[in-house]
Amino acid sequence: MTSPEERLAALGLTVPDVVPPVASYVPAVRSGAMVYTAGQLPMRDGALITTGKVGASVTPEQAYECARQCALNAIAAIRSVAGDLAGVRIVKVVGFVSSTPDFTGQPGVVNGASELLGEVFGDAGVHARSAVGVPVLPLDAPVEVEVVAEVIG
């Protein structure tokens, strides 16, 4: 069986540094066996990978990639408080999609996060989920993702 880190490497990905908060909060908190991440934006190398609304200046495909980056950033936040990804189980994902009023493809966008978590954690990445359309997100990000995980073993 391969570890989450080995699966990440096979995907050509590495866990980034934890994204610093943009306000007064921490990236993740552990309470007992549970880890709760703050909303993760699609930051890479200190900047958003794109800005705008899905259905206007951002395509669903671009937003899907943003959701993948959000999930990768959530993995970094989880690892920062869990210490290791080997015993992590993903429990719940909430994805927020800044979109135009007529855009209804939020579930497909948030699949970017869900599918990455499944690829990285295998059966332990299967989770409950919500995908919500919103008018605007911090820094004009198109996507924000929160993750609840459990540290087992």
Domain ranges in the chain are 4-18+29-151
Cα–Cα distances in angstroms (integers) from residue 33 to residues 82, 87, 152, in the given order:
9, 10, 7
pLDDT digits (tens, 9 = 90+) for 93-138: 999 999 999 999 999 999 999 999 999 999 999 999 999 999 999 9
Token pair of 16, please? 């980034």
User: Which pTM was predicted?
Assistant: 0.97
- Measured CA to CA, the distance from residue 80 to residue 104 in angstroms comes to 34
Task: Work out the pLDDT band at 15, boundaries 50, 70, 90.
Answer: very high
**What is the DSSP-derived secondary structure letter of residue 42?**
-
pLDDT tens for each residue of 22-74: 899 999 999 999 999 999 999 999 999 999 999 999 999 999 999 999 999 99
Query: According to DSSP H, which parts of 84-134 are helical?
Result: 106-121
List, in sequence order, every residue forming a beta bridge with 34; answer none if it has no partner.
Answer: 31, 150
4-18+29-151 CATH choice from 3.30.1330.40, 3.40.50.2000, 3.30.70.1350, 3.20.20.80: 3.30.1330.40
Q: Of the candidates 77, 59, 65, 44, which has an alpha carbon nearest to the alpha carbon of residue 115?
A: 65
CA 132 from centre of chain: 14
